[in-house]
């Protein structure tokens, strides 16, 4: 049994699975690690190639293991699936990752830096806000249309819709409905402000976003 040269690491929230082989492909280690044991385990190993699926937390672990001197390669999960030899479980996944990572035709995912992940987070956060704002606007339009309050299509006209409905609350909408609609209009206004702020952050970068929060 030789020295470990390649490891397949199946990531998880709490219990990770390791499958390691030597230069000849003979299995050297197959074990589970608790989250707190992962870095200690790899810190004791000589430099080797570590394969992981490019899933949640993969970039974090790739940076951590890379800092220990290991060569870390991330692969799309769909490319690893073909190498699972038996019923899908953590041990089988780790073995499949270990085999897939040394394939000469395998395609790898570049490891993102913390700064790159922060930028992605900003953009995804803004996209989510825009979707939520559109949903709020559509719901507000539908509710107010039931009371005969309408405005031209488009997000830019939502402010006009809110302005139109306020003077007519007392005559056309019951008190319980007015409260909910006011609440929804408030969410809409807050969503507009936050989405605009996020847009500025996305254009300027994560460092500016941190400054705005302080």
Burial class (CB in 10 A: 0-12, 13-18, 19+), 148: exposed
Instruction: Report the pLDDT value the prediction gives residue 207, as an integer from 0 to 100.
Output: 54
Asked if 41 and 63 sit in the same domain, the reply is yes
> Given 38, 70, 100, which residue is the final one in a domain?
100
Which helix (H) or strand (E) element contains residue 124? helix 114-145
Asked if 147 and 76 sit in the same domain, the reply is no
- Asked if 20 and 4 touch (Cβ cutoff 8 Å), the reply is yes
Per the structure, the complete domain to which residue 167 belongs is given by 114-213
Asked if 77 and 163 sit in the same domain, the reply is no
Residue 69 lies in a domain: yes
- Asked if 49 and 70 touch (Cβ cutoff 8 Å), the reply is yes
Structural tokens at position 11 = 């990531």
Statement: residue 212 has pLDDT above 70: no
Asked if 87 and 122 sit in the same domain, the reply is no
CB count, 10 Å around CB of 120?
13
- Asked if 94 and 17 touch (Cβ cutoff 8 Å), the reply is yes
Instruction: Report the pLDDT value the prediction gives residue 211, as an integer from 0 to 100.
Output: 46
> Given 45, 75, 100, which residue is the final one in a domain?
100
Residue 107 lies in a domain: no
Asked if 200 and 160 sit in the same domain, the reply is yes
Instruction: Report the pLDDT value the prediction gives residue 186, as an integer from 0 to 100.
Output: 73
Residue 96 lies in a domain: yes
Instruction: Report the pLDDT value the prediction gives residue 213, as an integer from 0 to 100.
Output: 44
Residue 162 lies in a domain: yes
Domain CATH code at residue 75:
3.30.420.140
If DSSP codes are grouped into helix, strand and coil, which group holds residue 96? helix
Asked if 11 and 86 sit in the same domain, the reply is yes
Structural tokens at position 62 = 């790739």
Residue 109 lies in a domain: no
Q: For residue range 21-64, what is the model confidence (pLDDT) as tens digits?
A: 999 999 999 999 999 999 999 999 999 999 999 999 999 999 99
Asked if 200 and 126 sit in the same domain, the reply is yes
CB count, 10 Å around CB of 179?
12
> Given 43, 66, 100, which residue is the final one in a domain?
100
Region 76-105 average pLDDT: 94
Which helix (H) or strand (E) element contains residue 61? helix 58-67
Domain count of the fold of the chain: 2
Asked if 127 and 175 sit in the same domain, the reply is yes
Instruction: Report the pLDDT value the prediction gives residue 9, as an integer from 0 to 100.
Output: 98
Which of 74-83, 94-103, 182-191 bottoms out in mean pLDDT, i.e. has the lowest?
182-191
CA 145/CA 150 separation, integer angstroms: 6
Asked if 151 and 65 sit in the same domain, the reply is no
- Answer yes or no: pTM beyond 0.75: no
Asked if 21 and 53 sit in the same domain, the reply is yes
Which of 108-117, 128-137, 143-152, 204-213 bottoms out in mean pLDDT, i.e. has the lowest?
204-213
Please, what is the average pLDDT of the chain?
Answer: 84
């Amino acid at each position: 049994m030789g020295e470990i040269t390649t490891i397949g690491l199946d990531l998880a929230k709490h219990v990770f699975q390791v499958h390691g082989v030597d230069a000849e492909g003979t299995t050297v280690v197959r074990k589970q690690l608790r989250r707190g044991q992962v870095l200690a385990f790899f810190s004791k190993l000589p430099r080797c190639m570590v394969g992981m699926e490019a899933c949640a937390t993969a970039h974090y672990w790739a940076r951590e293991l890379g800092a220990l001197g290991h060569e870390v390669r991330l692969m799309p999960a769909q490319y690893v699936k073909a190498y699972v030899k038996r019923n899908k479980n953590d041990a089988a996944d780790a073995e499949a990752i270990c085999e897939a990572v040394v394939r000469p035709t395998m395609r790898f995912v570049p490891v993102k830096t913390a700064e790159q992940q922060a930028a992605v987070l900003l953009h995804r956060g803004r996209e989510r806000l825009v979707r939520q704002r559109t949903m709020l606007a559509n719901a507000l339009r539908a509710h107010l249309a039931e009371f005969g309050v309408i405005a031209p299509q488009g997000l830019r006209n939502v402010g006009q819709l809110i302005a139109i409905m306020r003077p007519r609350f007392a005559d056309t909408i019951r008190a319980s409905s007015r409260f909910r609609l006011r609440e929804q209009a408030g969410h809409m206004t807050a969503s507009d402000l936050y989405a605009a702020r996020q847009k500025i952050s996305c254009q300027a970068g994560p460092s500016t976003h941190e400054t705005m929060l302080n």
